[in-house]
Amino acid sequence: MIAADLYLNKINFLKYLPQTDCQECGAVSCAEFVKQLKRRIRTPSACTFLTDRQIKGFHLALQGERILPQVPALELPRPATTGLVEINHPNDKSLVLLSGNSEFTQEVISSMMAYTLSSYWLLFVDCRGDTVDMAMIYESFKVEKIMAALKQLPVDLGREIVLPGFASPLKEPLEQEAECPVKVGPLCIAELPLFLGDDWEVPSDINLG
């Protein structure tokens, strides 16, 4: 099987560090610290500026290759169910996470959601079964389809909508249509715990060693 690119190499670890190059972690710079994290020379807790949740987010992102399932790289769409999935009993204060209805995209996202206690509205938008990166090329991930999907929410929007990173061109038109803040998330789902920060709570019984 030729595995799909899950964009683990696109995780921007550096932007979640203080970038003061204080050397308190033992590395000469924050950029060098990231290199040492990837080589398992140091652990995220070596950075004294990181909160407990940030440290756990780093651990999850660094273990993305183990956490995320390998899925095949396919040229043809693999449509799966569209609609709303409730993660950990969301309410009107919960974030809305958007993605497409590719079978393999949903499999990867579901694997990541097992590592949080936080509540989200997870909304799979009809994009003909294209992965989001391909859906943006084929223009099958559209604002009008997102707006139609948002009508399924049982509550008024109380928090931001989080777009997949590849869908960043839709940010401004979606904000105008939805009349609420829209954030552009990361390209790789393994970066989501880092991106969401305090909005992502890791279960205490999960081994992050």
Q: What is the distance between the alpha carbons of residues 99 and 13, in angstroms, rounded to a whole number?
A: 22
pLDDT tens digits along 83-136: 999 999 999 999 999 999 999 999 999 999 999 999 999 999 999 999 999 999
Q: Distance from CA of residue 165 to its chain's centroid?
A: 8
Pairwise pLDDT comparison (74 vs 55), residue with the higher score: 55
102 closest CA partner among 151, 164, 147, 160: 164
pLDDT in tens, 161-170: 999 999 999 9
Q: With cut-offs at 50, 70 and 90, classify the pLDDT of residue 209.
A: low
Task: Fold for 83-199, please state it.
Answer: Rossmann fold (3.40.50)
| Percent of the chain topping pLDDT 70 | 99
Other Cβ atoms less than 10 A from the Cβ of 52: the count is 9
CATH 3.40.50.11600 positions along the chain are 83-199
Give the model confidence (pLDDT) of 17-58 as tens digits: 999 999 999 999 999 999 999 999 999 999 999 999 999 999
State mean pLDDT over 134-140. 95
Domain with CATH 1.10.15.40 in the chain: 8-67
- Nearest residue to 38 (alpha-carbon basis) of 57, 59, 20, 17: 59
pLDDT confidence tier of residue 2, bands split at 50, 70 and 90:
confident
Q: Rounded to whole angstroms, how far apart are CA atoms 93 and 70?
A: 33
* CATH 1.10.15.40 matches 8-67: yes
Six token digits for residue 145: 């389809």
150-207 per-position pLDDT tens digit: 999 998 877 899 999 999 999 999 999 999 999 999 999 999 999 999 899 998 877 7
User: End-to-end alpha-carbon separation of the chain, Å?
Assistant: 29
Q: What is the pTM of this model?
A: 0.92
